[in-house]
């Protein structure tokens, strides 16, 4: 690259990445990347804590699409030159990426972005044997900002390949949450060639960036006609104009009986709107649904009750995991019963996958796991995918259950098994087993114990017989009367313990970084002996090569 001044750099693109130096806590600078020359076209604009000296870490922007073109990177905030601009380099590799995906706190079972911030999962869809994962992403720093849609693909929901960002901020706003679908019948008319178009519906968050100042929140469409490699924003955007306040996070599903698309959209307060469209472009309002104490990121889908396709319900939920079960006739959603939590803990903004193979018959969900990862060149991660089912409880209520997807079995490396194990206070039956990646299944009869549970790398997972509460750190769930024996399943990673109780009726995902030197496991009983009819501990392989 050729340096010109402390306020701009101009060069001809010959490598894949621009490496940009980040210093956490440095003043944010507004950078613009555009064509060099008179009247340059703006390609990208972003805020970055540009390093003033030695960087804390490096981030990248992919410029491969501009190969051979003359570009200018310039400071555009009016605050004067930025010395860190002289540190920017062009390369085919990520600077400081020698330990990529194996850094100290890098989750080894959960998806995380190679660099920068990640939050809500978006646009989850399956097409032609490939799972496409999109996510809220700040490629340029450790904190939330510059919302893009990151993009990764997988053949199995375990092993991921990160691709170039699919959606970049533009003059309509930054790229807030949304969904993805396969338009199998080409209702949108976007098909070009044999493959159906893949369509993303997203919120353009006007006013959340310098270039979108004064714009409202609207719902927009992007599409791919090559199976998900290249993405183009629709020329007719927005497909749904501003409704109210920061209306956002469209979730779209095909409704076969009415032969049209249905969108759930967060409006304001605890209100969610339902809309319908024949073509993903023209949307008609249906009605509004209230989910008490719930905001943002709706999901809307049908599920069979106890696996019986003749007895199904629709589920409408929001970002904090609260959901309603009810009926939907293509026009109105009618809840039955009160809103309930599907998860309690560190998870947020869960979404389910679209267009899974019909023969598969599963409804799979992934969420944002909120856990800061200090000292890393990336931050936050996504939850391990779970399969959702609807089951009728003893009292007749229909409730969601969630358990890890069966693909987790492929990561099993070594198994340790016990049956009919009695644990008295002070017993240490798991001595000698250590690591940082585990799957644990336990059936526990508290017996005379007042408290019983597991200690995972120094982090207690505690069941209190007196209060019937299952807790880990600051999070807890109360089990229903009759929920004995206690059945637990845990997924343990470097920065999380995801807990599922009573066959997934309770989900308690906890983001936590254990002490570095503690790789131990223990099962404990306090106040008396407990009995474990079964205990299985599986050591696991990681997902990164």
Q: Which residues are catalytic?
A: 120
Instruction: Say if CB 319 and CB 343 are below 8 A apart.
Output: no
Rg from Cα positions in the chain = 25
Distances (CA, A) of 316 to 42, 201, 243, 255, 332: 40, 18, 20, 14, 12
SS3 track for 390-423: EEECCCCCEEEEEEECHHHHHHEEEEEEEEEEEE
Dist CA 353 CA 373 (whole Å): 27
- Cβ proximity of 509 and 499 under 8 Å: yes
The gap between the terminal CA atoms of the chain, to the nearest Å, is 32
Q: Among 149, 147, 154, which residue's Cα sits nearest to residue 385?
A: 154
**Is the Cβ–Cβ distance between 443 and 458 less than 8 Å?**
no
Q: Considering all CA atoms of the chain, what is the largest pairwise distance in Å, rounded to the nearest integer?
A: 80
| Separation CA 33–CA 71 (nearest Å) | 7
* CA 439 to each of CA 9, 294, 365, 497, 542: distance values in angstroms, whole numbers, following the listed order: 50, 31, 19, 10, 12
Place of tokens 């409880």: 393
């Amino acid at each position: 690259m050729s340096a010109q001044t402390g306020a701009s750099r101009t060069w001809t693109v010959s490598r894949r990445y621009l490496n940009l130096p980040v210093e956490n806590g440095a003043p944010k600078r507004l950078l613009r990347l555009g064509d060099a020359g008179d009247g340059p076209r703006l390609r990208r604009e972003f805020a970055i804590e540009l390093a003033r000296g030695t960087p804390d870490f490096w981030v990248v922007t992919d410029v491969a699409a501009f190969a051979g073109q003359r570009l200018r990177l310039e400071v555009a905030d009016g605050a004067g030159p930025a010395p860190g601009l002289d540190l920017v380099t062009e390369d085919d590799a990520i600077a400081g990426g020698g330990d990529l995906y194996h850094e100290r706190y890098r989750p080894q079972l959960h998806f995380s972005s190679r660099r920068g911030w990640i939050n809500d999962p978006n646009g989850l869809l399956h097409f032609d044997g490939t799972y496409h994962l999109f996510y809220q992403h700040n490629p340029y720093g450790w904190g939330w900002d510059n919302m893009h849609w990151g993009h990764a693909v997988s053949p199995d929901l375990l092993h991921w390949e990160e691709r170039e960002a699919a959606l970049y901020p533009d003059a309509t706003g930054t790229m807030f949450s949304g969904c993805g679908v396969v338009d199998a019948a080409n209702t949108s008319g976007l098909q070009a060639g044999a493959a159906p178009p893949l369509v993303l519906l997203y919120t353009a968050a006007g006013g959340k960036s310098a270039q979108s100042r004064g714009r409202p929140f609207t719902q927009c469409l992007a599409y791919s006609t090559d199976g998900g490699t290249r993405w183009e924003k629709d020329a007719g955007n927005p497909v749904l104009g501003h409704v109210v306040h920061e209306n956002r996070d469209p979730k779209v599903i095909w409704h076969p009986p009415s032969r049209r698309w249905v969108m759930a959209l967060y409006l304001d307060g605890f209100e969610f709107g339902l809309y319908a469209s024949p073509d993903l472009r023209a949307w008609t309002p249906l009605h509004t649904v209230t989910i008490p104490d719930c905001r943002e990121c709706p999901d809307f889908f049908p599920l069979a009750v106890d696996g019986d396709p003749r007895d199904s319900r629709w589920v409408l939920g929001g970002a904090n995991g609260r959901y309603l079960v009810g009926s939907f006739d293509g026009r109105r959603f009618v809840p039955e019963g009160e809103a309930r939590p599907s998860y309690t803990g560190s998870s947020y903004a869960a979404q389910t996958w679209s267009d899974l193979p019909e023969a598969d018959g599963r409804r799979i969900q992934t969420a944002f796991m909120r856990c800061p990862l200090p000292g890393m060149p990336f931050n936050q991660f996504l939850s391990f995918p779970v399969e959702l089912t609807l089951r009728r409880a003893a009292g007749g209520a229909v409730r969601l259950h969630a358990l890890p997807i069966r693909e987790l079995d492929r990561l099993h490396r070594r198994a340790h098994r016990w049956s009919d194990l009695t644990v008295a206070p002070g017993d240490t039956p798991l001595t000698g087993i250590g690591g940082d990646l585990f799957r644990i299944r336990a059936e526990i009869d508290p017996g005379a114990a007042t408290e019983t549970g597991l200690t995972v790398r120094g982090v207690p997972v505690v069941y209190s017989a007196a209060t019937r509460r299952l807790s880990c750190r600051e999070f807890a769930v109360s089990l229903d009367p009759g929920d004995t024996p206690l059945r637990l399943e845990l997924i343990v990673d470097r920065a999380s313990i995801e807990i599922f109780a009573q066959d997934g009726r309770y989900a308690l995902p906890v983001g936590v970084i254990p002490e570095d030197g503690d790789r131990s496991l223990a099962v404990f009983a306090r106040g008396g002996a407990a009995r474990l009819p079964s205990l299985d501990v599986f050591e696991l392989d990681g997902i990164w090569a």
